[in-house]
Amino acid sequence: MIELLFIGLLAGLIAGVSPCILPVLPVIFVGWTAAPREGVDPRRARRRRALAVVGGLVLSFSLLALVGSVILSAFGLPKNFLMWAGVVVTGLVGLGLIFSSLGHLLERPFRKLAVAPPSQVSSGFVLGLALGAVFVPCGGPVLSAITFIGAHHSVSIESVFLTIFFAVGAATPLLIVALAGDAVVERSQSIARISRKLRPVGGLMLIGVSLLIAFNATAGIQTWIPGYTNSLQKSVEGNRFATNALHSLSHQQSSDGQIGNCVDANPTLQRCGHAPEFAGISTWLNTPHDRALRLSSLRGHVVLIDFWTYSCINCLRSLPHVEAWYSRYHRDGFEVIGVHSPEFDFEHVVTNIRSAAHSLGVKYPVAVDNQLATWGAYGNQYWPAEYLIDANGVIRHVAFGEGNYPASEELIRQLLQAAHPGVILPTATNVADRTPTSALSSETYLGTSRAQYYDNSNLIGQQYFSYSMPSPIPAGTYGLGGQWYVGADSITAGSSAKLDITYLARHVYLVLAGHGQLTVTLKGVTRTISVSGFPRLYTLASSKGLHSGQLHLSFTSGVKAFDFTFG
């Protein structure tokens, strides 16, 4: 844990000197324009204000990163509400520096809490709180893990400390800049004498920054300046230890202690402890009147808990086997519960899940595990993952990933016969196993959070940017050309958007959303795919045997791409 916190601190420091931090730097220089009251040491007041700004930023950013989505969900607010609130408060603080009466009004709620004159500490703290809502450091694995934890409401003590260490690291360069500015003021007596008169200038600076952020006009600053911290960020956050630790923190919570000792795909039945009850399920599908189920109410039945998500190709290849087992053995006391545990934001949308389940022919109950609470209760880390539970509620078999279906079905039959002695079971199912048996290209995520297979030198996040297609494209990577908007877990096509990817597989799949067209060119043959509706998996290429090639993709504006998978 100590090593992970150190990585979080270093990641924050790197983010704090990256191009993404530049838009908020002007705000730091507002500190010396807030002249102290009579009888207060000017330098001490400026330092206190600087500390208050940074302290407010650390507190605000940490809270919003971890529980911001909880707040928004509780009040039914849009996802960008807190950002706009920060923009408004930043502008109001700026107006308060121009108009003293408004400044005193804004400081009034904090007067009783201030340990120094409120014109220095209180307004600085308020400004820091506002900055925390608009503060968007360059994304990396640490920030992605923090965002994932907050979005899925799975906050733990480890994630809290990781967030604080990251925020402190990112804010440290800002504090150094603020103190350096104070040193400049201290050495320049002319500036110090007129600092009170420069308050309106600082106010105008704050208002200007808030307007730039509101209209996303700061994007140009980050575009013009190279990503000089990219290689350092990769070396700190992309090493094997950091990757494993962050994955464990964001994807694995607690289990009952015995599940983790169960051997994956063991050929014989095991005893892995009692199955945890369903937790945090927001919606149930395919139950009478969509009523909630309890695992304890299924005693006497053999139950298969299948963790899946509707856009996961591995899940979709295993789904026909699960559906066949349910159809074949349901009359004999066999139940399947599909726990839908999302990986992407769009997989949280219940209407998307309902439509996908219907189109995929899923008849058994589906539990929508948007908070990943049930996922965490089982300590699960895989899509798909199967937990086979006997009639007494004890986990007897686990299987992670695809394949080994005949062995799993044989164990289902054994448990059914043990639960209902004398039962005559139908013949075993005969569904083709489409699990890949040879080495394939790795799953390739698009977006800034997991761009390990991106070949260009830099991804510009949270804005439209024109990319130049590299040549050649190294094996197992992709490159971008034309205009793209790159988000955390997806990219959205702009003008003349193109994507080239090299691969080794029989089949190439891509999760797409939006409305438009995708043109696919492979070995000189071109075909067009129409994209519409909620995000789902599209087949881009298929061949009878293993194929090594390069796909050339052209997108119309507005089409959104998430994730390549291969079969």
pLDDT digits (tens, 9 = 90+) for 440-484: 788 888 887 777 777 666 777 777 888 988 888 888 889 899 999
Banded model confidence at residue 254, pLDDT cuts 50, 70, 90: very low
* pTM score: 0.55
Give the pLDDT mean for 213-222. Answer: 54
Give the pLDDT mean for 218-244. Answer: 55
Q: What is the largest CA-CA distance in the chain?
A: 98
| Residue where the block lists tokens 């597989």 | 505
Domains identified in the chain and CATH numbers: 2-249 (no CATH), 253-419 (3.40.30.10), 444-566 (2.60.120.260)
Could you give the 3-state DSSP secondary structure of residue 358? helix
Q: What pLDDT score was predicted for residue 510?
A: 92
pLDDT digits (tens, 9 = 90+) for 387-397: 999 999 999 99
| Residue where the block lists tokens 């999302």 | 342
Q: What pLDDT score was predicted for residue 230?
A: 52
Strand-pair category, 464-467 with 478-486 = antiparallel
Banded model confidence at residue 334, pLDDT cuts 50, 70, 90: very high
Which is nearest to 275 in space by CA: 259, 298, 294, 252? 259
Tell me what percent of the residues of the chain surpass a pLDDT of 90. 24
Which is nearest to 387 in space by CA: 315, 316, 304? 304
Q: What pLDDT score was predicted for residue 482?
A: 92
Give the pLDDT mean for 257-280. Answer: 82
DSSP bridge pairs for 340: 308, 368
Pinpoint the alpha helices (H) of 99-155.
Answer: 100-107, 121-134, 141-151
Q: Is the pLDDT of residue 171 over 60?
A: yes
Lowest mean pLDDT among 30-39, 275-284, 343-352, 503-512: 30-39
Q: Is the pLDDT of residue 5 over 50?
A: yes
CB environment 359-373: b (16+ within 10 A), e (fewer): ebebebbbbbbbbbb
Q: Is the pLDDT of residue 518 over 90?
A: yes
Tell me what percent of the residues of the chain surpass a pLDDT of 70. 70
Angstrom distance (rounded) from CA 81 to CA 84 = 5
Phi, psi of 546 (to 5 degrees): -60, 130
Q: What pLDDT score was predicted for residue 109?
A: 58
Banded model confidence at residue 4, pLDDT cuts 50, 70, 90: confident
Phi, psi of 495 (to 5 degrees): -70, 130
Strand order through the sheet with 366-368: 283-285, 366-368, 334-340, 302-308, 385-389, 395-400
Angle at 449 between CA 448 and CA 453, to 5 degrees: 70
Q: What pLDDT score was predicted for residue 181?
A: 64
Instruction: Kindly state the tokens that stand for 521.
Output: 């060119």
Q: What pLDDT score was predicted for residue 114?
A: 42
Banded model confidence at residue 215, pLDDT cuts 50, 70, 90: low
Angstrom distance (rounded) from CA 293 to CA 304 = 14
Give the pLDDT mean for 242-258. Answer: 56
Q: What pLDDT score was predicted for residue 219?
A: 45
Give the pLDDT mean for 116-132. Answer: 62
Cis, bond preceding 118 (omega within 30 deg of 0): no
Q: Is the pLDDT of residue 409 over 90?
A: yes
Q: What pLDDT score was predicted for residue 253?
A: 41
Q: Please, is 286 exposed, middle or buried when counting C-beta atoms within 10 Å of its C-beta (0-12, 13-18, 19+)?
A: middle
Q: Is the pLDDT of residue 249 over 70?
A: no
Q: Please, is 480 exposed, middle or buried when counting C-beta atoms within 10 Å of its C-beta (0-12, 13-18, 19+)?
A: buried
Q: How many residues does the chain have?
A: 567
Instruction: Kindly state the tokens that stand for 111.
Output: 């007067």
C-beta of residue 528 within 8 angstroms of C-beta of residue 517: yes
Angstrom distance (rounded) from CA 203 to CA 90 = 9
Q: What pLDDT score was predicted for residue 134?
A: 65
Banded model confidence at residue 501, pLDDT cuts 50, 70, 90: very high
Angstrom distance (rounded) from CA 93 to CA 126 = 8
Choice between 209 and 23, residue whose per-residue pLDDT is larger: 209
C-beta of residue 520 within 8 angstroms of C-beta of residue 540: yes
Q: What pLDDT score was predicted for residue 433?
A: 83
C-beta of residue 500 within 8 angstroms of C-beta of residue 525: no
**Helices then strands (H, E): number in the chain?**
17, 15
DSSP string computed for 278-344: P-S--EEESSGGG----GGGGTTSEEEEEEE-TT-HHHHHHHHHHHHHHHHHGGGTEEEEEEE--SS
DSSP bridge pairs for 499: 480, 553
Phi, psi of 458 (to 5 degrees): -160, 140
Report the half-sphere exposure of 423 (CA within 13 A, side-chain side): 18
Q: Is the pLDDT of residue 47 over 90?
A: no
Q: Is the pLDDT of residue 39 over 90?
A: no
Which is nearest to 374 in space by CA: 254, 271, 249? 254
Q: Is the pLDDT of residue 283 over 80?
A: yes
DSSP 454: B
C-beta of residue 57 within 8 angstroms of C-beta of residue 132: yes
C-beta of residue 559 within 8 angstroms of C-beta of residue 531: yes
Instruction: Kindly state the tokens that stand for 190.
Output: 């002319």
Banded model confidence at residue 23, pLDDT cuts 50, 70, 90: low
E-only strand ranges, 406-477: 444-445, 464-467
Phi, psi of 41 (to 5 degrees): -60, 120
Could you give the 3-state DSSP secondary structure of residue 241? helix
